[in-house]
Amino acid sequence: MKVLRWYCPNCDEDKELGVELREQAVRVRGEEMRATVEGLVCPDCQKDIFHPELDGRLQQAALELYRGHHRLLRPEDIRGFRGKYGLSQRALARLLGWGLITIQRYEAGALQDEAHDTVLRQLEEPDFVLSLVERCGARLSEREKKMVGEAVAAAAAGKGKKESGDLWRAAQVWASDRAPTGSPERGFRAFDPERFGQLVLWFAARHGGLFKTKLAKLLWLVDFAHFRRHRISVSGLAYARAPNGPMPDGFLFLLGLLEAQGVVEINEETVGAYQGEVIRSKDFPRADEFSPEERDTLERVDGRFGAMTASRLSELSHRERAWLGRVDGDLIPYPEADGVDFMERMWD
């Protein structure tokens, strides 16, 4: 018989106690679970002896049985769902509006209540996660949003083209939540993920790869310059003030979706003296996506600003009132384009 040196409180001495497999009853939420695990028995007084580690195993076995009976997620399932979207415990807690300690406890083996279980179970569905990001994305950092966007898009892409379209539609819903469709913040247009993708491709293909910060400026110039002349934006993107100039709202998240769809590739690279994330096209832009007027705007923006560095473009935008009058994160309504003089000179 296997033995373990331990204390028998009945005999009041340390001695070799027998280790035996035995069925023991544990109550879990009022229900009796009978688990068969190792326990200690004293060879002299024949009493069952408590041992913290063996008792821990008994508790876990009983919880395991209870989870099985009630079809509750196991801690490894919860860790798995979270890992699938690249979310930290903190990010998931923020997204669900729960305390960090709650997620930590569940993953460490504490039994979740059934309502929480129902919510956690839905994490398996990319659409559910995306809807959470739509509603509560402001609680995540841009980097976290980008990671979730990529993971959700990859999960959806793996399930076929149809659902990947659903994902873009969801991205549209998310965008309209930030600034209403057709509002001045979108240049009186609905955000169109397809056009956004084509715009990115157009610049990435033409430049053979360009820095993310530079792309952000060129998109802003295209949309605002086009608006100044034609009173409507090209992409329907909203632009927010960011430390180095106007930035498409949710830029990293939207680029993440494009990358996950295999439209572009984004890598940290060094080009000359500069280092940063470089976007390269993995697809060809479609010639028919844009109207003649829009193509004209694209050519003029690229002709005038395409050769400038990202930091030169930042300096340019920093002189503008549209920029100076707001704080980081504020959306910049398109009519502000009227105050940007160099945009009018583009048509000279």
**How near is the Cβ of 15 to Zn ion at its closest, in Å?**
8
Q: Does 8 engage in binding with Zn ion (CB under 5 A)?
A: yes
The site that binds Zn ion (CB under 5 A) totals a number of residues, namely 6
Label residues 50-79 b or e (16+ Cβ within 10 Å = b). Answer: ebeebeeebbebbbebbbeeeebbebebbe
Q: Pick from 35, 37, 40, 42: which binds Zn ion (CB under 5 A)? A: 42
Stretch of 2-10, 235-243, 289-297, 328-336 contacting Zn ion, by CB under 5 A: 2-10
Sheet holding 3-8, edge to edge: 3-8, 13-28, 31-41, 48-49
Q: Binding segment for Zn ion among 1-9, 118-126, 159-167, 182-190 (CB under 5 A)?
A: 1-9
User: Which of 246, 234, 218 has the alpha carbon at shortest distance from 323?
Assistant: 246
Task: Pick the piece of the chain touching Zn ion (CB under 5 A) from 6-14, 106-114, 254-262, 309-317.
Answer: 6-14
Q: Considering beta carbons, is residue 12 or 53 the nearer one to Zn ion?
A: 12
152 lies in the binding site for Zn ion (CB under 5 A): no
Q: Is 199 in the site for Zn ion (CB under 5 A)?
A: no
Which of 11, 190 has the CB closer to Zn ion? 11
- Which SS3 state, helix, strand or coil, does residue 45 take? coil
Q: Please give the residues from 73 up to 112 whose contact with Zn ion meets the rule CB under 5 A.
A: none
- Nearer to Zn ion by C-beta: 47 or 74? 47
* Amino acid type, 245: G
Q: Considering the complex, state which of residue 44 and residue 344 has its C-beta at the smaller distance from Zn ion.
A: 44
Q: Radius of gyration of the chain from Cα atoms?
A: 29
Comparing CB distances to Zn ion, the nearer of 51 and 228 is 51
Neighbours of 219 (CB within 10 A): 23
Tell me how far, at minimum, the Cβ of 49 lies from Zn ion, in Å: 7
CB 6, min distance to Zn ion, A: 10
Min CB(96)–Zn ion separation in Å: 49
Q: Which residue in this structure is represented by tokens 């939420």?
A: 29
Our finding on whether 45 is near Zn ion (CB under 5 A) is yes
Instruction: Pinpoint the alpha helices (H) of the chain.
Output: 52-70, 75-84, 89-96, 100-107, 114-122, 126-136, 142-157, 161-178, 193-207, 212-230, 251-260, 292-305, 310-318, 321-324, 341-345
Does 44 help bind Zn ion (rule: CB under 5 A)? yes
Span near Zn ion by CB under 5 A; candidates 42-50, 75-83, 117-125, 333-341: 42-50
User: In this chain, which of 4, 11, 173, 205 binds Zn ion, going by CB under 5 A?
Assistant: 11
Q: What is the DSSP letter of 339?
A: G
Torsion over CA: 40, 41, 42, 47 (sign):
positive
Q: Does 17 bind Zn ion (CB under 5 A)?
A: no
Please provide residue 189's backbone torsions phi and psi, each rounded to the nearest 5 degrees: -135, 160
Q: Would you count residue 10 as binding Zn ion (CB under 5 A)?
A: yes
DSSP string computed for 68-109:
HHHTPPPHHHHHHHHHHTT--HHHHHHHHT--HHHHHHHHTT
Interface residues toward Zn ion, by CB under 5 A: 8, 10-11, 42, 44-45
